[in-house]
Amino acid sequence: MAEAERIIGTPDIPEAGGAGPEQSDSGSTGAPGPAEGSSPTEGPGPTEGPDPAEGSTPAHGRPKGRRKIAVLFGVALFAYALDLISKMIVVAKLEHHDSIEVVGDLLRFSAIRNAGAAFGFGEAYTIIFTVIATAVIVVIARLARKLYSLPWAIALGLLLGGALGNLTDRIFRSPGLFKGAVVDFIAPKNFAVFNLADSAIVCGGILIVLLSFRGLDPDGTVHKD
């Protein structure tokens, strides 16, 4: 019997007072348990960082389009008001009077009525230029919804203000609706007579060409050919 007990072995009986190794809840022996007072499921969580949903900006870094739309219409309103006021003064004070020398004979103010396009071109196609100006205004208004570039907002605002200025003349001035003659008064030496609306259109067009050469699109993206 003693030999059989030696071969089979006897189960370990813990000593009184718990001197033997303690078992964890999972049944393993000898493994250190969690520190007292801590949850066994707690561990090093993911590194905390700023919530991407709070205060984040779009990945492309574009500013809000509404601000650019406000700039566009603000520039257009300024250009339109400046053109309209200048024409009202010219019609009231300068039309049917002698021209005024501003810089000697290099620049004069001389009021004329122009039925053509900018700088007096195409006087036989007044109605066509009226339609073109209207189309330009519609296109700019539709493009404004995708506008995220400040330089483009300024350029389109100049175009819009100039187009509205000359279109107002074509609608409300003689000889009739959509055939009205535009008031021009800026007369450089050896150059065609024009107005502030023409200047805004030309400046806006030049700015658009420069932006296109630089690869800047109205939506704020930059492309390289």
Residue pointed to by tokens 């000359």: 166
51 counts as catalytic: no
Q: Which listed residue (12, 98, 184, 217) is catalytic?
A: 184
184 counts as catalytic: yes
With contact defined as beta carbons under 8 Å apart, do 150 and 71 qualify? yes
Which positions ≥6 away from 140 have C-beta within 8 Å?
72, 156, 159, 160, 163
Q: Which listed residue (198, 217, 219, 225) is catalytic?
A: 198
Tokens of 22: 């303690």
Active site residues: 184, 198
